[in-house]
Structure 1
Amino acid sequence: MHHGTDRNPQQPFLTPEERAAIDRGRWFSALSPSLRHDIFRLGTVTRYAHGDLIVEQGELAQHWFACASGAIRFRRTSPAGKLVTLAYVEPGIWVGEAEVLHSGPNTYDAHAHGRTTVLGVAEAVFRQLLREHTEFGEALLTLQARRMRFLYWMMEDMATLPLRARLAKHLLHLMRRFGPRHVPPGDEVPLGIVLVQDELAQLLGCSRQRVNVELKSMEREGVIRMAQRGIIVRQREQLETIAQQET
C-alpha cells in the first residue's frame, strides 16, 4: 500500500471506534477470537487524506486490507483508457485477498474517499495466518463466495430492472452501508457518502444525464432531497417500493 499522510513517526494504532468498526463487520465477526486478535496484532495502520492513493492498478499486490474509517473508492482504467468507478466500501470491509493469493498485480486503483484509515496485512503475514489458523482458508472461501453472489445479483439487476429501480436500490444500498446506524422511524436519512452524479452513473453503468433525470424525478415526488452534503432519503419505504419495480 502507498504511504498515507500521517506524519507521526510512531506506529499509529486504531482508535477504539475504528477497531469496533472492523470488529462488527459481518464476515470478520464470525472469525475466532484468536484469529481476530492476530489480525489486529500483526496488521499495520495507515491514515489517508481525501483522494490519497492507497493501491495502484498494475502494481504487485502486497497487502490484504480493511477500511477502518472513512471510505475507499475503487476504480479501474480499461485497456482503451476509460476510467470506471467500480465500488465504494465502508468500514469493516476487507479487500485484496484474491490478488495477494494470486501473487499478481492489483486489478484496480484504490483511493481514500474522505479521511480514511486502513488496516493492512502484508502478504508474508497473510500467508503466516493461513498456516497458523486452519479456519482462515475456509473463511476466505466464504468471503469470496459472498462477493460472487453479490456480483450475480448486480448482473441480474442490470438484466431485469429499469434504471429507476436500480438507482433506488443502489441508494438504499449506500444508505445502509454509509448512513447513520440508528434513525428514528419517519426521520430523513442522509446517504452518508457524497458522490457526484458521474460516479453514480459509472456505478450503475449508464450516463450522467439519465441518472440526473431519475434523481430529479425522485426529488419532485418527495422521495429524496438533494442537499449540499449529498442525497437525503426522505421516504425510505417509497424508495424501497421503487427498487422492487421490474417494469
Structure 2
Amino acid sequence: MTPADLTVLQADRWFGAMPAARQALLLRDARVRAAASGARLQANGGPPDGLKAVLAGEVRLVRGTPEGEESVAAILGPGAWFGGLSAVDGGPQTHDAVAFGPARVLHLSQPALEAVAAQDPVLWRDLALLIAGFHRASQTVVAQSLTQPILVRLARTLAGAARTGGSDTVRLRQEDLAAMIGVSRPTISKALKQLEVRGMIEIAYGAIFVRDAEILRALGRRDRA
C-alpha cells in the first residue's frame, strides 16, 4: 500500500476517526488487489470475507432481479469500506460487489480481522459504527422517498454518482436509477427529461452527462423542486 492509498483511507470519516494505532493494526495484514472491470469482489449470499475498502476506481453493490438482471444498490468510490455487516454477524453477504472499470481494493481477510479485534476489542465498536452509518444512510433514503420530490432525489443521486466516479459522465441504466430512488422506470425517464430541459444533464444511451454540476448539486440540497 502506498502513502497515497493511506491518504485516501484517512480521508474517510469512519477510518479517519480511529486512533493511529488501531489504523495501523487494521492495515497490518491487509492486502491490495487490482481488480479488472467486472471483477466480482464478493458474492451475494456468500460467506463472510472480512473487510474491504476502495483505494481507486469504483465498486458497485448490486443485487440480482427476478428477471435475471442486476440492480445497483450503491456506488462506492475511493475511501469507502464494505463487507462489514457479514464480517460482524457471520451471516451471508447481502450484495454482489463488482468493480466498475479498473479498481484497486484493500482486503483484510476474516481471520485477520478477527485477530485484530482480539488484540484491540474496541474495533468491534468501530465496526458497529460503520454498519450503523450504512443503516442510517438507507433510512435517510427511505425518509426522503416519502417527503422529497423525485427531481430533488434524482439530482442528489446523479451529483453523488458523478462525484464518486470523478467524471461528468454517469454510467447508470435508467432501471438502476429507478431502483436507487425507489420509483418506476417511466417515472425516472420523465424526471430525467425534466432535468435535461433545464440544462442540467444530457441523456445518452447507457449514460447521463452532467452539464451543470453546480445547479444539479444545489437542486439536490433543496426540499422541493
Secondary structure of the structure 2 residue equivalent to 1:18: helix
Cα distance in structure 2, aligned partners of 1:63 and 1:134? 16
Greater length-normalized contact order (CA 8 Å, ≥ 6 residues apart):
2
Give identity over the alignment, percent: 25
1:147 equivalent to 2:134? Answer yes
Q: Distance in 1 between the 2:157 and 2:39 partners?
A: 25
Report the alpha carbon displacement of residue 216 of structure 1 after superposing the two structures with TM.
2.2
Matched, 1:241 2:184: no
- CA deviations 1:81-102 (Å, max 9, x no partner) are 6643211111111111110122
Q: Is the 8 A contact 1:167 1:243 kept in 2?
A: no
Q: 1:21 corresponds to which residue?
A: 8
Classify the secondary structure of the residue corresponding to 1:84.
strand
**Mapping for residues 10-159 of structure 1, pairs under 5 Å:** 14-77=1-64, 83-159=70-146
Task: Give the CA deviation at 1:145.
Answer: 2.2
Give the number of equivalent residue pairs.
224
> Which residue is 1:213 aligned to?
190
Q: What is the CA–CA distance in structure 2 between the aligned matches of 1:38 and 1:87, rounded to whole Å?
A: 28
* CA distance, structure 2, for counterparts of residue 97 and residue 43 of structure 1: 15
| Structure 2: runs of 5+ lacking an equivalent | none
The one of 135, 156, 160 aligned to 1:173: 160
**CA separation of 1:80/1:199 partners in 2, compared to 1, >3 Å: closer, same or farther?**
closer
CA contact (8 A) 2:54 2:76 kept: yes
What is the Cα deviation at residue 18 of structure 1?
A: 3.0
Unaligned runs of 5+ in 1: 1-13, 180-189
TM-score w.r.t. the length of structure 1 is: 0.80
Q: Structure 1: how far apart are the matches of 2:38 and 2:203?
A: 23
* Partner AA of 1:67 in structure 2: V
Q: Partner letter of residue 200 of structure 2?
A: V
SS in 1 for 2:46: coil
Structure 1: how far apart are the matches of 2:66 and 2:199? 41
2:87–2:110 contact (8 Å) kept in structure 1: yes
Return the match for 2:174 from 197, 207, 213: 197
